[in-house]
Structure 1
Amino acid sequence: MMLQLLYPWWMLALPLCGLPWFWPVIQPPRGEPLPFSTLFLFPRENLSRHFQWSSREWPLKLLRSLMILLLVLLFAKPYFGTLEPHREVRILDDTPSAGLHLKAATENILDWENTFQISELLPQDPLEPISFQQDFPGYAAGSPSLATLASVLMDRFPEESRLKLTLVSDFQHTQYWFYPAAVQPVNWSFERPEGLQSSPNLAMRNPKIKTEGLFEPRLFFKVYGNMKATGDLRITVLQQDRKVGETRIQWEGETIPVSLSLSDQFRRLQPVKILLETELPQAGFDDLLYFQESSLNDLWVGIMTSEGPEGMFRHGLHALKSALNASETFSFLVRDLEHLKDHVPDVLILLGDHPLRWKALKDGPPALFIPTRLGDWKEYARQYPRSEGSETQDNQSLWPQGQWLVDWTQAPFAEDWQIRRNEFGNFESETRGIVLLETGISDPWGSLYRIDEFAERLQGWLQQLEKRMHSRRLGSFYSGTRKLNSAIGYSRLGSGNYQTPENSSSKTNSSSNSKRTKSFSVNLPPFESEMRLMSDEELQRMQTFFDQRQPPLQQTELGSAEKIKQWLLWIVLLIALAEISMILLRRNPDNPA
């Protein structure tokens, strides 16, 4: 332990300690001195007397010099600590993009003591994809944040109070430019081999599958990169190693939006792989994009009705279709149960006079029943807002004024169907798995279908049904992101297509929860494909940023700083009292000195 200063620049004020000795020489008193003591005024005398040792004056000047010295130390804030970190650790960036730039330096760096690759510090989570293809070795989860690396090494070396971390990387602009403030007790140093040049690269991003027309799926995505040369690109879409789409495009140095029609062999519930092939020299580690469209983004809504062709639109079909089209949700009419086998929807909307007409749908897709004729259920209905004496609560707090709401727990079939309110506030049959909307969407029921928020309400009901699907498609994620960790519980996953069992907390249909699965895809973060290196000036600015933010003091160092501060304050107080006592004795005429 050594004495250190938290603000050492205050030591530049040390020459002020000689002020009590030189001030009377520089500014001799003019006129008669005042009859009371001040900090820097002395009785009139010639200049030679100021530098002579006097039993009456030099102790006073010495006390004042000592007081100034202690005040400077108080501002410098001394504490007991270590001058340098105990351990130096080197971190080698072995992400796929950095691996292309650091091939020559990798072998020499790994031979040094206390050198770790990122893949050693942050191993991938134990979840294997059902489909993957890894052509490039290295850390497949993308570049982690500096704070994450520091936390891992602090856990690895808990006995060290300070660490000096040196990161060896290519330092792509999009990976490390948005660096946070340093709040951890580590010293960062950044090192990049000289002469690195950005590698040309092409990649794909923003994939999306939408169903158009008569059940025609189309794939949309963008091809981007820093490739300056022009050339042909071939895009192939694979599903379980079966080609379901192919196209050729011309790369001319600018981002290209691609729209690709998928063949009849495409199965919408299964993930795909998008392969980019070209003769142009480029990185190539991200030429394969895994993709799983989420259920909500390409939700197929089947509509079944018990009304005739004329009655369908009178009882709300037109309003229903308009709201679905406004939210770009693909929907179609289902004539009968046999029609379901040809085009199986993800969820069903049952627009009819009685839910018992679809009692055979027990094993079908999640369904929402919407009543059509108010007269059939008026004895179990009441208008919103409900009477003050009612104890039950609505599942919606903003029903339109006067909207009729049905209490399905009072229906004759309620006990047989075991109708209860689910976690979303809607009525649901625990035996049939059908959600029963408590109101209709035609004029006799009220003005619900005419309000501006009706399309959003409908999307909320569909989202509740989507959560009850036996096979949910969660979509595509980037590895290492919070979004992936929130949805799956893992964040460091390699690229690939995944399928896992779903643990549902829903109390309804609990027997089937264990059979539900969720599928998703994971890819490298897009900044791995940018291939734009930070300039030397930007890297130096990043180094300066961390150099100016020294690690915070340890708890023991904070305690020592506070204790030293208290002792210095007491010493300053004692010196001030001693000076006052000496001045009073000096003014006493009876004093023989």
Structure 2
Amino acid sequence: MFQFLAPLWLLGLPLVALPWVWPVLKRPLQPPLRFSTLLLFPPETLHRQFQLSRQEWWLKLLRSLILLGLILLLARPLWREPEPVQAVWIRDTTASTTALLEGMSFTEAPSGAVLTLEELFPESALRPEQGTHLKTPGFPGAPTLAQIAEAAQDRFRKDERPPLLHLHLYSDFQRSQFQHYTSATQPVRWTFHRSAHLQVPANLRMQKIRLRTEGLFEPVLELEISGDLPTAAEVQLLVQQNGQNIGSWSGTWNTEPLATKVLLGAKFKRHEPLLVRMEALDDPVTWDNERWFLPPATENLWVALVTTSGGEGLYRHGLHALKSALNAAGFFSYVATTTDDLQEFPPDLILLLADHPERISRLPKDTRPTLFIPTRFEDWREFAVHESTSQPDVDRGKRSVSEASPQENPSGPEAQWRVDWRNWPEATAWQVEAVNLDLQYAKERDLWLLTTGVSSAWGPLYQQRAFADQVRGWLEQMLRRTPVQRLGTFASGSRELAELLNGNPHLRSGDYTLPLEKETPERRFVVVLPEREAQLSILSDDELARMQQHFDERSARPDIQSQVSAERLREWLLWLVLMLVLLEVALAALRVWRPPKTTL
């Protein structure tokens, strides 16, 4: 079918007759001459001003073709076949929609394929651990319009170019799920359907769940209870782990967000997921009253500070600065003076402030990952190098301590001393390898080595504002090589979960373990329903109409084949117009050079 991308230029088609009409409309250039009689003039000369000029008709035709080609060139013609549109009806089967639309059917009779979200998003092959699956109704997660459109295009794709789909979505249209509809830019047509007079129940929900340690090793679960119940309600929380009750709380929710704390008992295990149950007699919603929770490895992290210098090392070797940085980074840290302390309160990581790396032999054999931080600078003078922090990394001047002058005090404002443990005599036996500027790793002894100290003798590193961030970076680097890596809690269908799995992120709620890959630690995480599934608030009729209008105005999708066809026709027309112009120039030159005919 022949079409034009800029059809308004076709209004200039009457200009094609300009070469024929112009000789009649233009005024004569020479002044008129007075004659006593016109009998001696030929008749064709006398009627020249009263008829269309037919002289040199081939030149006028050529100019008309040039004008026609320019007008068509500006109108951008193209040739394309009408593309079939495939209608697909999709039923929203998320937990909230299934409950609100239970027993209701489509407002119109479907005229194409009918799919549910379970059929549109195939179930993942990854299964939760036995006994951790929560039986929530409907589809796990709450996909957005962009995710639904992308999944539909992938399902009906037959070649590299996706088909033109007309998606009919039947849903309750929760505001939290569909309010960001402008991000759906897929070239599909949308039609939204919803049953009239929906009754949205009030709901009470849990959010902002966090696990932390307070006081003397007291684990506490913090969360917030919010909702839209019309009156106050009695709420009870029950925390379970491995099928055992480890904490409970009961109180009154008074129509405002309520921050609560649940003290966890002695049977609590910090590395295992928690199941939080909420019970409220006035809460009619049941699909969101159970939630799994597992903090990531960097949250509720226990760091043991072990020193061999005694009480005076608390100030002389930077223990106080290190403790302040750990507090600022949000880690729970404590000083362990004996091996019994490490066994009674097992940490996740150990920071060993000692005079020699061999001090690790005094720790238990099954100890957690340990970072050795050198204390006395004088013990490592021959291996230390000077680093000027005022210069870029690539140009940092480094010299041996033995070559430094007394005026170049390492405690100066722009000096930091570092030890390259690869130059240490035991480096070969310990298999020391560099990780980054601050950390090195002794593979044989499973010991991390800090290349500098945290006291004033080593330099002003501990005085920097970013020191707490540096300490966090050290610990995060160490956690990457721990045997079990706790990844945390993810919402089903979230982008973070999709990046983690590199595949279908719509998983059922539960505790998951990723298959162990080569030379990687075991990775654990839990999946929960997204919080927006508990925020029951649907779009109004006006908001739904505006969303429909938004997509109706953008229903025409970019057609790559049509663009290629338009560009090809444009090139052909351009070459044709250029050839006609050259031909017109040649004929005009021939007319000028041709000798005039003499008449008697």
- Same fold flag (TM > 0.5): yes
Q: How does 1:511-550 map to 2 (within 5 A)?
A: 516-549=521-554, 550=556
Tell me if 1:346 matches 2:348.
Answer: yes
2:393 paired residue number: none
Tell me if 1:439 matches 2:439.
Answer: no
Q: How many residues align?
A: 559
- The answer to whether the 8 A contact 1:211-1:330 is kept is yes
Q: How does 1:551-562 map to 2 (within 5 A)?
A: 551-555=557-561, 557-562=562-567
1:150 paired residue number: 150
Gaps of 5+ in 2: 32-44, 389-395, 401-411
Deviations 1:37-92, CA, capped at 9 Å, x for gaps: xxxxxx99999x78xx8857999999988877665544443322233434222222
Alpha-carbon distance, 1:155 to partner: 5.0
1:263 paired residue number: 265
2:507 paired residue number: 493
Alpha-carbon distance, 1:527 to partner: 2.6
Find the residue that maps to 2:478 and give its secondary structure.
helix
Alpha-carbon distance, 1:213 to partner: 0.4
Q: How does 1:400-479 map to 2 (within 5 A)?
A: 401-422=414-435, 426-479=439-492
Find the residue that maps to 1:313 and give its secondary structure.
helix
Q: How does 1:182-197 map to 2 (within 5 A)?
A: 184=186, 186-197=187-198
Return the alpha-carbon distance in structure 1 between the equivalents of residues 472 and 18 of structure 2: 81
Alpha-carbon distance, 1:331 to partner: 0.9
Return the alpha-carbon distance in structure 1 between the equivalents of residues 550 and 46 of structure 2: 55
Find the residue that maps to 1:487 and give its secondary structure.
helix
1:292 paired residue number: 294
- The answer to whether the 8 A contact 1:144-1:480 is kept is no
Gaps of 5+ in 1: 36-42, 391-398, 506-512
Opposite residue 189 of structure 1, the aligned amino acid is W
- The answer to whether the 8 A contact 1:314-1:442 is kept is yes
Return the alpha-carbon distance in structure 1 between the equivalents of residues 268 and 541 of structure 2: 49
Deviations 1:3-35, CA, capped at 9 Å, x for gaps: 233345656x378569969999xxx96975689
Find the residue that maps to 1:384 and give its secondary structure.
strand
Alpha-carbon distance, 1:212 to partner: 0.7
1:254 paired residue number: 256
- The answer to whether the 8 A contact 1:124-1:494 is kept is no
Alpha-carbon distance, 1:381 to partner: 2.5
2:165 paired residue number: 164
- The answer to whether the 8 A contact 1:499-1:519 is kept is yes
Distance 1:409 1:230, change over 3 A: same
Return the alpha-carbon distance in structure 1 between the equivalents of residues 301 and 53 of structure 2: 98
Return the alpha-carbon distance in structure 2 between the equivalents of residues 281 and 70 of structure 1: 73
Which stretch shifts more, 268-277 or 169-178? 169-178
Alpha-carbon distance, 1:107 to partner: 7.2
Return the alpha-carbon distance in structure 2 between the equivalents of residues 296 and 111 of structure 1: 50
- The answer to whether the 8 A contact 1:372-1:440 is kept is yes
Deviations 1:220-239, CA, capped at 9 Å, x for gaps: 22223344444222222221
Distance 1:166 1:301, change over 3 A: same
- The answer to whether the 8 A contact 1:87-1:162 is kept is yes
Alpha-carbon distance, 1:520 to partner: 1.4
Alpha-carbon distance, 1:296 to partner: 0.8
1:39 paired residue number: none
Return the alpha-carbon distance in structure 2 between the equivalents of residues 591 and 579 of structure 1: 25
- The answer to whether the 8 A contact 1:89-1:163 is kept is no
Which stretch shifts more, 224-233 or 366-375? 224-233
- The answer to whether the 8 A contact 2:136-2:287 is kept is yes
Residue of structure 1 aligned with 2:180, choices 164, 178, 181: 178
- The answer to whether the 8 A contact 1:301-1:332 is kept is yes
1:305 paired residue number: 307
Residue of structure 1 aligned with 2:373, choices 351, 370, 375: 370
2:339 paired residue number: 337
Return the alpha-carbon distance in structure 2 between the equivalents of residues 115 and 316 of structure 1: 67
Distance 1:387 1:238, change over 3 A: same
Return the alpha-carbon distance in structure 1 between the equivalents of residues 162 and 295 of structure 2: 47
Opposite residue 3 of structure 1, the aligned amino acid is F
| TM-score using structure 1 length | 0.81
Whichever of the two has the greater Rg, that structure is 2
- The answer to whether the 8 A contact 2:107-2:193 is kept is no
Find the residue that maps to 2:115 and give its secondary structure.
strand
2:81 paired residue number: 82
| TM-score using structure 2 length | 0.80
Deviations 1:470-491, CA, capped at 9 Å, x for gaps: 2222111122223223334442
Distance 1:290 1:579, change over 3 A: same
- The answer to whether the 8 A contact 1:181-1:546 is kept is no
Tell me if 1:128 matches 2:127.
Answer: yes
1:141 paired residue number: 141
Find the residue that maps to 1:485 and give its secondary structure.
helix
- The answer to whether the 8 A contact 1:4-1:83 is kept is no
1:315 paired residue number: 317
- The answer to whether the 8 A contact 1:170-1:196 is kept is no
Alpha-carbon distance, 1:208 to partner: 0.7
